[in-house]
């Protein structure tokens, strides 16, 4: 089983241990505004994909022909992962299971909100709530530890510099590309974006995310919450999540 990553290994012993969905949320958070970089809808797809990636790393699920199957139904230590694992079908043959891209589309906002709530409950993030027109709540999230987000980004940069030697880091980079934030987070310019795109096309979880991001964009079904740039770099041949 892969061990979740500390936010800033060797630098801050108080930094929380993070699962992939939590790491992606913090990596793409603007600590000044309290909002996500890029589009909130894309991040929601990314966080859902990160849950599948974490479950795969822990040996709980596998992908066969674009479909997700549970191969180890024992609950993970993280109660959020355990609850989400129970939404996936048991393996009953090569063509059984739920399509990865459909699960990402169905659970995107639920997963994002679940992990944001958890980070607030654990005092990793604080939450500020405002109401648009006095009716619709809008949340902003700020790191409780001021060096938390910089620490997560330092870890990501170190992984990029080393060529992503760890599978966990490759998954995170692939998801960053899938949600269109490679340009914002790479420290290596065009070669860095290209390296993340290659990883995106090799990871089924990232392909499922990117399929939904592109479909959401083409359908015009955006929630309009853009911040700090972003933007994608093309779908490529494998974004369909494995038809």
Distance CA 136, CA 134 (A): 6
Distance CA 55, CA 165 (A): 20
Q: Which string of DSSP letters, residue by residue, matches 126-162?
A: EEEEEEETTTEEEEEEEESSTTHHHHHHHHHHHHHHT
Please compute the mean of the pLDDT values over residues 210-228 and round it to a whole number. 65
Distance CA 192, CA 170 (A): 12
For residue 12, what pLDDT band results from cuts at 50, 70 and 90? low
Tens digits of per-residue pLDDT, 17-68?
899 999 999 999 999 999 999 999 999 999 999 999 999 999 999 998 889 9
Q: If DSSP codes are grouped into helix, strand and coil, which group holds residue 61?
A: strand
In this structure, the strands spanning 17-18 and 5-6 are: antiparallel
Query: Whole-structure pTM over 0.85, yes or no?
Result: no
Percent of the chain clearing pLDDT 90 (strictly above): 72
Candidate from 153-157, 209-213, 238-242 with smallest mean pLDDT: 238-242
């Amino acid at each position: 089983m892969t061990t979740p990553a500390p936010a800033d290994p060797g630098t801050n012993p108080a930094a929380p241990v993070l699962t992939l969905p939590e790491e992606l949320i913090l990596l793409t958070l603007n600590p000044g505004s309290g909002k996500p970089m890029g589009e909130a809808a894309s991040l929601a797809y990314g966080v859902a994909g990160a849950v599948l990636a974490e479950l795969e790393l822990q040996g709980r699920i596998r992908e066969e022909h674009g479909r997700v199957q549970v191969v180890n139904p024992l609950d993970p230590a993280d109660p959020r992962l355990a609850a989400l694992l129970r939404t996936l079908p048991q393996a009953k043959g090569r063509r059984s299971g739920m399509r990865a891209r459909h699960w990402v589309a169905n659970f995107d906002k639920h997963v994002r909100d679940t992990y944001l709530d958890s980070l607030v409950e654990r005092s990793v993030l604080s939450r500020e709530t405002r109401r648009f027109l006095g009716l619709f709540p809008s949340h902003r999230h700020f790191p409780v530890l001021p060096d938390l987000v910089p620490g997560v980004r330092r870890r990501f940069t170190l992984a990029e510099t080393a060529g992503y030697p760890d599978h966990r880091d490759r998954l995170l980079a692939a998801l960053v590309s899938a949600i269109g934030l490679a340009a914002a987070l790479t420290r290596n310019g065009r070669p860095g974006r290209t390296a993340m795109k290659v990883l995106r096309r090799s990871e089924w979880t990232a392909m499922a995310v990117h399929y939904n991001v592109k479909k959401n964009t083409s359908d015009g079904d955006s929630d309009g919450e853009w911040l700090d740039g972003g933007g994608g770099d093309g779908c490529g041949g494998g974004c369909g999540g494995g038809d």
